[in-house]
């Protein structure tokens, strides 16, 4: 399409040449292209691009060092966490041990106290038993005496005389039977 178009324009003749193919401005175009392109190249390659690459590199370094720092701090935190867990476990074990010891001690104390009290009670019981049997024996002696006296009084009333020894023997025999 362009070719046809160019041909048509060329057909217009010399009075309106196709501007890109005119030759008069070519030296000037080349001259200014060389000057301006070189100027742009120098400005970019000498001043602007090194500055930009500096900035980008600095940023990359900064990001890398920040990441390193973050990794280091993270490691630290993990270490601290581990240490904390260790300390916690230790403390927990110690607490358990202390509690166990306290419990054992209490139990021992309890057992000894119980034993002491038991012994005490047994002793008291024994004394009480002894006293009871003594009292009973005493009571029995008294009963015999009373029976003898009563029997003496009764037979005296009946006008019979009996020796205390006989009376005692008779009452004993009766008590034995009872």
Partner 1 sequence: MNLMPAIALDPIHQFQVTKWLDLRLGNIDISFTNASGFMLLGVVLVIAFFGMASRKGELVPSRLQSVAEMGYGFIADMVRSAAGEEGLKFFPFVFTLFFFIFFANMIGMVPYAFTTTSHIIVTGALALTVILMVIVVGLMKNGLGFFKLFAPSGAPWYIYIILTPIEIISFLARPLTLGLRLFANMLAGHIMLKLFAGFVVALIGAGAVYVPIAALAFAMGVALNALEFLVAGLQAYVFAILTCVYLNDALHADHH
Task: Please report, for residues 97, 100, 101, 117, the alpha-carbon distance to residue 108 in angstroms, rounded to integers and kept in the order given.
Answer: 16, 12, 10, 14
Query: Is 38:30 a contact under the CB 8 Å cutoff?
Result: no
Give the residue with the Cβ less far from partner 1, 58 or 116.
58
CB of 71 to partner 1, least distance (A): 20
Residue 12, classed as helix, strand or coil, is coil
CB of 69 to partner 1, least distance (A): 15
Give the residue with the Cβ less far from partner 1, 34 or 132.
34
Spatial distance between the Cα atoms of 136 and 130, rounded to a whole number of angstroms: 10
Give the residue with the Cβ less far from partner 1, 16 or 158.
16
Give the residue with the Cβ less far from partner 1, 34 or 111.
34
CB of 75 to partner 1, least distance (A): 25
Give the residue with the Cβ less far from partner 1, 29 or 76.
29
Q: Phi and psi (nearest 5°) for 159?
A: 80, 25
CB of 95 to partner 1, least distance (A): 51
Supply the DSSP string of 97-151, one letter for each residue: HHHHHHHHHHHHHHHHHHHHHHHHHHHHHHHHHHHHHHHHHHHHHHHHHHHHHHH
CB of 74 to partner 1, least distance (A): 22
Give the residue with the Cβ less far from partner 1, 30 or 146.
30
Q: Phi and psi (nearest 5°) for 9?
A: -65, -40
Interface residue list for partner 1 (CB under 8 A): 1-2, 5, 9, 16, 18-22, 24-34, 36-37, 39-41, 43-45, 47-49, 51-56, 58-59, 62
CB of 22 to partner 1, least distance (A): 7
User: In whole angstroms, what separates CA 32 from the centre of its chain?
Assistant: 82
């Amino acid at each position: 399409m362009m070719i046809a178009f160019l041909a048509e324009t060329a057909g217009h003749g010399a009075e309106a040449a196709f501007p890109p193919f005119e030759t008069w401005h070519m030296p000037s175009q080349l001259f200014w292209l060389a000057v301006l392109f070189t100027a742009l190249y120098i400005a970019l390659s000498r001043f602007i691009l090194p500055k930009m690459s500096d900035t980008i590199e600095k940023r990359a370094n900064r990001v890398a060092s920040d990441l390193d720092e973050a990794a280091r701090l993270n490691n630290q935190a993990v270490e601290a966490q581990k240490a904390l867990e260790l300390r916690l476990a230790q403390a927990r074990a110690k607490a358990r041990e202390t509690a166990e010891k306290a419990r054992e001690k209490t139990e021992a104390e309890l057992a000894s106290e119980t034993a002491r009290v038991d012994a005490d009670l047994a002793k008291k019981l024994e004394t009480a038993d002894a006293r009871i049997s003594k009292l009973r024996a005493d009571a029995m002696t008294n009963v015999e005496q009373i029976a003898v006296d009563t029997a003496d009084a009764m037979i005296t009333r009946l006008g019979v005389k009996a020796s205390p020894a006989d009376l005692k023997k008779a009452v004993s025999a009766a008590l034995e039977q009872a």
